[in-house]
Amino acid sequence: MKPFVFVNIASSIDGKISDESRKQVRISCREDFQRVDRLRAFSDAIMVGIGTVLSDDPSLTVKDERLRYERVQAGKDENPIRVVVDSRLRIPLNAKILDDRARTIVATTEKGLERVKLIEERAEVVVFGREKVDLRLLCEYLYKIGVRRLMVEGGGTLINSLLREKMIDEFNIYYGNMIIGGRNSPTVVDGESFADPVRLELISCQKLGEGIFTRWRVVYR
């Protein structure tokens, strides 16, 4: 069994999620950040790849105090569980995601064993796989500990692997009113292309702030 897995990501009109520097680019407008905050608050866990942690140093917490309060009233932790996919345990000790504002799980492989003790002082470490984190085993584990709604915030490399494993149920993509350009700028789905393009069904599409918010169901064949 696996959680319902949905991606939420902000893209430029030309499909880029950052520029060639790979540093965080503000693509979402205020309205979209509010939508993302609500989505986080209604998730059990939020997952990112180590590439995103190294580029953005995200905290992945719910920003709106009222939303955190509502979670607590509903018997949940203030913030969803944060999950980092990191085969070699490259996560910096001072990463914001390792602070005490939320429970954090760092998923690694046999390649990361040397740093496990160090990271375990700040987060839970789980080992799934030999070279790359076995995403299927990780999602089964998350389901076992009670995660039913898993939000994936990126980046493109992690999303590619999850798609290959047929793990993603839905894409929520906000298209900001900008073109970033650049052959080497990261995109919503990076890595190798698919021999047979992954098909999507449009769930909804609406103008939001200065951009467009779209929801897509993934149709696996």
Ligand X SMILES: NC(=O)C1=CN([C@@H]2O[C@H](COP(=O)(O)OP(=O)(O)OC[C@H]3O[C@@H](n4cnc5c(N)ncnc54)[C@H](OP(=O)(O)O)[C@@H]3O)[C@@H](O)[C@H]2O)C=CC1
- Contact residues toward ligand LIKH6CAM (CB under 6 A) are 10, 24-28, 36, 48, 52, 56, 58-61, 153-154
Q: How far is the CB of 144 from ligand LIKH6CAM (least distance, A)?
A: 25
Residue 162 to residue 194: CA distance in whole angstroms: 13
Beta-strand (E) ranges in the chain?
4-11, 45-49, 81-85, 104-108, 124-127, 149-154, 170-175, 199-208, 211-219
Which one, 52 or 79, has the nearer CB to ligand X? 52
Q: Binding ligand X by CB under 6 A: which of 4, 13, 15, 22?
A: 22
- # binding residues, ligand X (CB under 6 A): 31
CA separation, residue 70 to residues 41, 145, 184 (Å): 9, 21, 41
Which range binds ligand X by CB under 6 A, 15-23, 113-121, 140-148, 198-206? 15-23
Backbone angles phi, psi at 134, to 5 degrees: -75, 105
Task: Return the amino acid letter for 3.
Answer: P
Residue 204 to residue 134: CA distance in whole angstroms: 32
Q: Binding ligand X by CB under 6 A: which of 7, 62, 81, 85?
A: 85
Selection from ligand LIKH6CAM, ligand X, none that 60 binds (CB < 5 to 8 A by kind) is ligand LIKH6CAM
CA separation, residue 111 to residues 23, 86, 108, 178, 191 (Å): 26, 10, 8, 39, 21
Q: Binding ligand X by CB under 6 A: which of 70, 126, 140, 161?
A: 161
Interface with ligand X, residue 18, by CB under 6 A:
yes
Interface with ligand X, residue 153, by CB under 6 A:
yes
The binding track of 40-69 with respect to ligand X, each residue x by CB under 6 A or -, is --------xxxxx--xx-------------
Kindly state the tokens that stand for 131.
């070279």
What residues between 97 and 126 interact with ligand X by CB under 6 A?
none
Burial class of 185 by CB neighbour count within 10 A (0 to 12, 13 to 18, 19+): buried
Interface with ligand X, residue 132, by CB under 6 A:
yes
Interface with ligand X, residue 9, by CB under 6 A:
yes
Displacement of CA 179 from its chain's centroid (Å):
22
Residue 47 to residue 97: CA distance in whole angstroms: 11
Name the residues that contact ligand X, by CB under 6 A: 9-10, 17-18, 22, 24, 27, 48-52, 55-56, 85-88, 90, 132-133, 135, 153-158, 161, 186, 190
